[in-house]
Amino acid sequence: MTLSNIGPGKVVKMVSVEGGLNLRSRLAAMGLIPGVEIEVLRSSSTGPFIVVVKGTRLVLGRGMAHKIMVS
């Protein structure tokens, strides 16, 4: 399941990234690595995703969220 399918208030665990090296590196620099817990704060049909990772709020574009696999 992708992060873009998760509703607000849910906590999931990141499994992998279905993207290239640049995207994986960019997400890793933000703390988004496999095994980390992600809490979704905002997930509307338009606009960016707002998530909490290790106590830090991050804003992700919908395209990025669609490439992050979670369980």
Global pTM value: 0.92
In 1-71, alpha helices (H): 21-29, 62-67
Per-residue confidence (pLDDT) for residue 63, from 0 to 100: 92
Residue 6: which residues within 8 A CB-CB, separation 6 or more? 12, 40, 43, 70
d(CA 45, CA 13) in angstroms, rounded, equals 22
Domain that holds residue 29: 3-70
CATH of the domain at 43: 2.30.30.90
The predicted-structure confidence for 27-66, as pLDDT tens digits, reads as follows: 999 999 999 999 999 998 888 999 999 999 999 999 999 9
d(CA 68, CA 19) in angstroms, rounded, equals 8
User: Closest by alpha carbon to 41, among 6, 2, 69?
Assistant: 6
Per-residue confidence (pLDDT) for residue 47, from 0 to 100: 87
Q: What is the count of structural domains for the chain?
A: 1
